Structure 1
Amino acid sequence: MTESNMKLNRRSFCFAAKLIVVVIALTVALSVLAACATDKMKQAEKDGDNYKIVMSYDPETHTLSATQLTEVTNRTNNAFTKIMFHIYANAYREGAEPIVPNTYRAAAYPCGESYGNIAFDYVKVDDVACAFRTEGDNGDLLAVPLSQEMFPGDKVTVELTYKVTLANIKHRLGYTSNAVNCGNFFPIVCHIDNDNFSETPYYAVGDPFVSDCANFDVTVCAPSKFVVAASAQLTSVTSADGFDTWHYTGNARRDFAIVMSDKYKKLTSQVGDKQLHYYYFADAEPEATLAVQRGMFEYMNKHVGEYPYEQYSVCETDFCYGGMEYPCLAMVTSGQQAYKTAVIHETAHQWFYGVVGNDQIANPWMDEGLCEFLTCLYMDEAGLSPLENGIKAATKNYVTYVDVLNRYYDHTDTTFRPINAYKNDGEYVVMTYVKGCLLFDTLYRTMGKDKFLRTLVDYYATCAFTLATPQQMTECFVRRGGKEMATIFDNYASGKDIIGKVTD
């Protein structure tokens, strides 16, 4: 063997040894992250309230009849004299503030104005009947008084029996000739903010929901002609007298939604031990849609972190917007031009909103902007549309909107704001989705692809099953990309940004 060959072999051996070390380190790191995620999920299950709902759907009256047991634990430092629930179903009642912006009213009500509500038969606390009252300007809050103070660590069980009347509306909660959407249908305990119940109303703009992880056991009874999709694992289906009873269980998730239809067909795909379901009634290319759903799911699993739940369902339905995310389930609007793009966006939400939560009222850009950018990033990798095209379109959209406003106003507010601070839905979309997307593109181009994706892994692992704050998100990016990342976040949030650049 020549000296040069010996040197070459030594180099090859050293390279192989280093490669083995890197592989081992990555394997250990991934194992640690997986173990950390499992521990966080177990903690979220332990800390979550428990909901047990038994409900039935009557297609003749378009009503949901339910009995609900909610086990609530006081995890604050305050003593409570009442438990507060959001009853979003009352936002659909006649006389309430409109839940649909004017620009979408025709799409939401194709058959004319329609109304719904929620009515309670009785309320019990620890099996004792109690008085209750609806509160809030729109009657979308339920106050359940307690007979004695509920101190930190105390636990009570609230029993609610109620009927939800559905509006004929293409919205989160409502029915059409094609499907029944049951999003935000049940009374949900108000999120705790600063040791008190957060009693925010149902805003027409954006997604007006902030919820902590909870555990669900839900039974749905419907005529046998209906196929039911839900936010949890199906454990059993039984049939009797023309009705099917579907039983679902799912822990450590922020919400629970159902979509059902007597027209549904279903496709299923397996990714590891996770099941992907696609429910459709009019899609002419269902296999292609399922492939897109699977592709984005695998992309997020690979580049962000493992999906922690057993299944994920995409449901074609009637909806006045592009789509709506719920844990383990997405509603996607039938017939829209950007149908598959909506599937990609809503799938990204399963990681950012579903697992890593945020205050969608105060900081909607955190999940919407990130999911919009991840949609562009995946479409580029999948060969569906170059990233450059998506960013050019977003830049043009944003700049055009701001230029038009500048013609009519002395000062155009381009800051990130809570959803109730936007003048209309158009401003919300541009400042949250479009500008939010451009923020993450700026971070991506400044850091580079590898650092950006590794930061998302850090963010996902650090904030899983919690409500992340802008500060926590910024800190994750600063750790990988340096202090310049904080400047980028600040400039976009405060409206000092110049798209594509960073200013002091």
Structure 2
Amino acid sequence: MYKMRLGRRVRTLSIILVVFVFSVSIHYIWDMGKVQRVFNTFTKPQQAPQYTINAVFDENDMIVRGEQRIYYENTSNQVMKDLYFHLYPNAFKNNNSAPFEASDMVRAYPNGFDKGWIELMSVMEGGKEINYKIIGDGSTNLRVTPKIPVKPGTSIELTMDFEVKLPNSIGRMGYGENTVNIANWYPILSVFDKNGWNLDPYYSIGDPFYSDIAEYNVTMIIPDKYELATTGNILKVSSNDKKKTYKINANNVRDFTMILSEKFTIDRGNVDGTEVISYTIGGLKNEQALKYGMEALEIFNRVFGKYPYKQLSIVASDFFIGGMEYPNLVMISQSLYEMKEDLALEYVIAHEVAHQWWYGIIGNNEVAEPWLDEALTEHATLMYFEEKYGAHIEEEIYEKMVKAQYKDFVRHGYNKDDKGILRSLKEFDSSIEYSSIVYSKGAMFIKELRQEMGDEAFLKALREYFDTYKFKNATTKDFYDIMQKNTNKDLKNEFSKWLNKNME
């Protein structure tokens, strides 16, 4: 995510824009009774979870009604007596649990607070209802108890019927004047790792998500006046009775998101066999957004490793925060398209596209180790400007925006450097602190690490990190091990200094 504070940062970007222009000039219904329960038969079990979802959007009540089947294989060495899911929409039930800071509530709910939630109608195994319980902070976790514990190497299929009420909110999930944002909306399996099941709540700071790669087969029914941007590949669109039915497949992705609008203008391009799709509101800055998305994809393909999916969507959205990454799709605040200058729009698009590599393809625990994807992504954004405009522009942005934000943070007495950049979301007091430490100081660390290793070794290590952990979840230790492997220099002190963690 890129939380754009539309004050100092935009002013800074405007100043840099002047330098940039000068430099370039020199150098150049759903009716539940009518929808059949049709699920694919999984003929070849895989380790990755598989979701089959039939859903419909009811615009009158702003409700998504869905039925979902989940195939889960226990790849651990432990017997699973219970399975756990996240129910993120329940965070929107009341203004105390809504995933926004108090200072952002008015921006998140411009028409006043509006409730959202997810309601489970049934949880079944083999066509019979089984025990489940909604638990956790804000009722954002679900515990399901199978009829028989799931032993290592065995699998289970569960079916859930649910309804999601979308709030009138312009955050990740909700709707505004232009778009309907359907994100973090269905029951999604929690990650089981060395620490057990990860059941963190929907924090108001950062991106409190951690998920495994999965396959999704989704059927979505919407009123035919809407266009739909989505994770995955749209296999088929059919129309009937003023409704459109989308058949969508997404493989090797961590989440599944859709954005709807009556006002989308759609433009397309192609980069290295990937279709880049720009969805803009009424065509505002459609050429620029498509161009920035294509250029970012081309640069990151070349620098980090090839993007492994068939499409990438850049979607203008009612989203007050700035930008947010989802698999194959990035949400970009409509306010950025409305600015006179284009540089803020370009910066946020480049940042969110970079997230397709750092968190999308290579996952990590964004709750416990948010620095790992955000610092790499912020540095990748700087690399985009370096590759496209030259080192002088990259250095200008680095000094006047990235480094300056961290210095301002320290100057105003908020500094908690003794903790380093490796800390969990719950250890941050505000988004300003989070952004200054995780993004800005994190990018400063990656830049210094690059200088210490040298460009050749650093880039070789990044590509190896990408190849090694593609479609997996990585940790700080995994990143350190590959960086250290690719240099003769001892990086322990460098990592310890910035992360405040002994890397032995």
Q: Same fold (TM over 0.5)?
A: yes
Structure 2 residues not aligned, in runs of 5+ = 1-44
| Offset of residue 357 of structure 1 | 0.9
| Offset of residue 310 of structure 1 | 1.1
Q: Which amino acid aligns with 2:359?
A: Y
Question: How do 1:200-279 residues align onto structure 2 when only pairs under 5 Å count?
Answer: 200-279=200-279
Q: Tell me whether 1:387 sits opposite 2:394 in the alignment.
A: yes
CA-to-aligned-CA distance 1:448-467 (integer Å, 9 cap, x gap):
32322222111101111111
Q: Specify whether residues 124 and 102 from structure 1 end up closer, same or farther in structure 2 by C-alpha distance, changes over 3 A only.
A: same
Corresponding residue number in structure 2 for 1:153: 153
Corresponding residue number in structure 2 for 1:72: 72
Aligned-partner SS, 1:461: helix
| Offset of residue 412 of structure 1 | 6.2
Structure 1 residues not aligned, in runs of 5+ = 1-44, 497-504
Q: Tell me whether 1:398 sits opposite 2:379 in the alignment.
A: no
Question: How do 1:351-430 residues align onto structure 2 when only pairs under 5 Å count?
Answer: 351-383=357-389, 386-393=393-400, 394-405=402-413, 413-430=419-436
Corresponding residue number in structure 2 for 1:339: 345
| Offset of residue 482 of structure 1 | 3.0
Q: Which amino acid aligns with 1:325?
A: E
Corresponding residue number in structure 1 for 2:49: 49
Corresponding residue number in structure 2 for 1:20: none
Does the aligned pair in 1 maintain the 2:109–2:170 contact within 8 Å? yes
CA distance in 1, matches of 2:327, 2:246: 18
Q: Tell me whether 1:441 sits opposite 2:453 in the alignment.
A: no
CA-to-aligned-CA distance 1:231-263 (integer Å, 9 cap, x gap):
101100000000000111111111111111111
Does the aligned pair in 1 maintain the 2:65–2:164 contact within 8 Å? yes
Aligned-partner SS, 2:412: helix
Q: Which amino acid aligns with 1:334?
A: Q
CA-to-aligned-CA distance 1:251-293 (integer Å, 9 cap, x gap):
1111111111111111111123211111110553211211111
| Offset of residue 137 of structure 1 | 2.2
CA-to-aligned-CA distance 1:286-308 (integer Å, 9 cap, x gap):
11211111011001111111111
CA distance in 1, matches of 2:301, 2:361: 12
CA distance in 1, matches of 2:306, 2:226: 32
Does the aligned pair in 1 maintain the 2:453–2:489 contact within 8 Å? no
Does the aligned pair in 1 maintain the 2:118–2:162 contact within 8 Å? yes
Corresponding residue number in structure 2 for 1:61: 61
Q: Which amino acid aligns with 1:404?
A: H
Aligned-partner SS, 1:149: coil
Percent identity of the aligned residues? 28
Does the aligned pair in 1 maintain the 2:46–2:73 contact within 8 Å? no
Q: Tell me whether 1:93 sits opposite 2:93 in the alignment.
A: yes
Corresponding residue number in structure 2 for 1:131: 131
Does the aligned pair in 2 maintain the 1:238–1:245 contact within 8 Å? yes
Q: Tell me whether 1:296 sits opposite 2:302 in the alignment.
A: no
Does the aligned pair in 2 maintain the 1:77–1:195 contact within 8 Å? no
Query: Which piece of structure 1 moves more, 143-152 or 207-216?
Result: 143-152
CA distance in 2, matches of 1:112, 1:133: 31
Query: Which piece of structure 1 moves more, 387-396 or 412-421?
Result: 412-421
| Offset of residue 98 of structure 1 | 3.0
Does the aligned pair in 2 maintain the 1:283–1:334 contact within 8 Å? no
Aligned-partner SS, 1:98: coil
| Offset of residue 120 of structure 1 | 1.4
Q: Which amino acid aligns with 1:50?
A: Q
| Offset of residue 194 of structure 1 | 2.0
CA-to-aligned-CA distance 1:7-31 (integer Å, 9 cap, x gap):
xxxxxxxxxxxxxxxxxxxxxxxxx
CA distance in 1, matches of 2:417, 2:63: 48
CA distance in 1, matches of 2:375, 2:209: 17
Q: Which amino acid aligns with 1:481?
A: T
Q: Specify whether residues 480 and 232 from structure 1 end up closer, same or farther in structure 2 by C-alpha distance, changes over 3 A only.
A: same
Does the aligned pair in 2 maintain the 1:402–1:412 contact within 8 Å? no
Does the aligned pair in 2 maintain the 1:364–1:432 contact within 8 Å? yes
CA distance in 1, matches of 2:452, 2:165: 51
Q: Tell me whether 1:168 sits opposite 2:175 in the alignment.
A: no
| Offset of residue 485 of structure 1 | 2.8
Query: Which piece of structure 1 moves more, 295-304 or 450-459?
Result: 450-459
Query: Which piece of structure 1 moves more, 258-267 or 276-285?
Result: 276-285
| Offset of residue 483 of structure 1 | 3.6
Does the aligned pair in 1 maintain the 2:304–2:466 contact within 8 Å? yes
Q: Which amino acid aligns with 1:350?
A: Q
Aligned-partner SS, 1:56: strand
Query: Which piece of structure 1 moves more, 385-394 or 438-447?
Result: 385-394
Aligned-partner SS, 1:372: helix
Corresponding residue number in structure 2 for 1:36: none
Corresponding residue number in structure 1 for 2:25: none
Aligned-partner SS, 1:112: coil
Does the aligned pair in 2 maintain the 1:415–1:495 contact within 8 Å? no
CA distance in 1, matches of 2:103, 2:463: 38
Q: Specify whether residues 95 and 317 from structure 1 end up closer, same or farther in structure 2 by C-alpha distance, changes over 3 A only.
A: closer
CA distance in 1, matches of 2:331, 2:410: 31
CA-to-aligned-CA distance 1:14-60 (integer Å, 9 cap, x gap):
xxxxxxxxxxxxxxxxxxxxxxxxxxxxxxx9320110000000111
Does the aligned pair in 1 maintain the 2:95–2:113 contact within 8 Å? no
Aligned-partner SS, 1:220: strand
Corresponding residue number in structure 2 for 1:349: 355
Does the aligned pair in 2 maintain the 1:228–1:258 contact within 8 Å? yes
Question: Rg larger in 1 or in 2?
Answer: 1
Corresponding residue number in structure 1 for 2:21: none
Does the aligned pair in 2 maintain the 1:126–1:156 contact within 8 Å? no
Does the aligned pair in 2 maintain the 1:89–1:185 contact within 8 Å? yes
Q: Tell me whether 1:490 sits opposite 2:490 in the alignment.
A: no
Query: Which piece of structure 1 moves more, 93-102 or 388-397?
Result: 93-102
Corresponding residue number in structure 2 for 1:21: none
Q: Specify whether residues 410 and 69 from structure 1 end up closer, same or farther in structure 2 by C-alpha distance, changes over 3 A only.
A: closer
